[in-house]
């Protein structure tokens, strides 16, 4: 990644790199930092002739035609989950200890604490050509895999992989990229994990757009 002050400077570098056979593209730095808009988070899907119907938790449906999907992106994100834990401790019962003449008497006390754990969640995102924001998002632990029928496994990770294969078959023109399932990140040490993920998703989208529309 390199930063230039003018469009002309950036375009000159892009042309030189393209001449060497290297895929290069340009975008505004503000697009990298732009907050993600409200995306459609699907909870279930139904495959039909020439389209897939997605439904969210509220029952709202969105139909996606076979030719509408430009990119299918599969990856892993880090989420923070707050858990309430109950711990049992032994505490000196002072009043009873005094009544027994100083013989220590202990009692069990339950204390509730909250801890924040980091959880890895796999996802699938569907992109249309017109926007670097995903049109549809599927999360590993928040999706109904019953549409898989007898292919449904006991593992949500395996079911998500089968869902990705189903979507690739439903949208044959779409590019597919799963490099974000591995340890992959652009060099931005000051960014949070969430910002890095969104940046990487946008860069991958822009790469495929550049490849499919040279110049």
Residue 96 maps to a domain: yes
Each residue's pLDDT tens digit, 82-124? 677 778 888 878 787 777 777 887 888 888 877 777 778 999 9
Please check whether residue 145 lies inside any domain of the structure.
yes
Domains contained in the chain, number: 1
The whole domain housing 104 covers: 35-184
Q: Enter the pTM of the model.
A: 0.75
Kindly report the three-state secondary structure assignment for every residue of the chain: CCCCCCHHHHHHHHHHHHHCCCCCCCCCHHHHHCCCCCCEECCEEEEECCEEEEECCCCCEEEEECCCEEEEEEEEEEEEEEEEEEEEEEEECHHHHHHCCCCCCEEEEEEEEEEEEEEEEEEEEEEECCCCCCCEEEECCCCCCHHHHHHCCCCHHHHHHHHHHHHHHHCCCCEEEEEECCCCCCCCCCCCHHHHHHHHHHHHHHHHHHHHCCC
In a domain? residue 4: no
Q: What is the pLDDT of residues 70-80, one digit of tens each?
A: 999 999 987 76
Q: Flag whether 23 is in a domain.
A: no
């Amino acid at each position: 990644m390199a930063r230039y002050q003018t469009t002309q400077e950036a375009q000159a570098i892009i042309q030189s790199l393209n001449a060497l056979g290297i895929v290069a593209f340009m975008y505004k730095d503000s697009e990298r930092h732009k907050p993600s808009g409200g995306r459609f988070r699907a909870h279930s899907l139904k495959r039909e002739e020439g389209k897939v119907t997605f439904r969210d938790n509220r029952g709202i449906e969105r139909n996606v035609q076979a030719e509408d999907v430009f990119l299918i992106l599969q990856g892993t994100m880090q989420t923070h989950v707050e858990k309430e834990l109950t711990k049992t401790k032994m505490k000196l019962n002072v009043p009873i200890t005094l009544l027994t003449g100083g013989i220590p008497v202990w009692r069990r006390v339950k204390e509730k604490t909250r801890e924040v754990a980091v959880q890895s969640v796999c996802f699938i995102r569907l992109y249309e050509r017109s926007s670097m924001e995903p049109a549809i998002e599927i999360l590993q632990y928040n999706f109904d895999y019953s549409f898989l029928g007898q292919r449904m496994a006991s593992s949500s990770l395996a079911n998500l992989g089968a869902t990705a294969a189903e979507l690739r078959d439903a949208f044959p023109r779409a590019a597919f990229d799963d490099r974000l399932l591995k340890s992959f990140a652009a060099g931005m040490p000051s960014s949070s994990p969430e910002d890095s993920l969104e940046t990487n998703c946008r860069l991958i989208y822009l790469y495929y757009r550049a490849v499919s529309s040279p110049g």
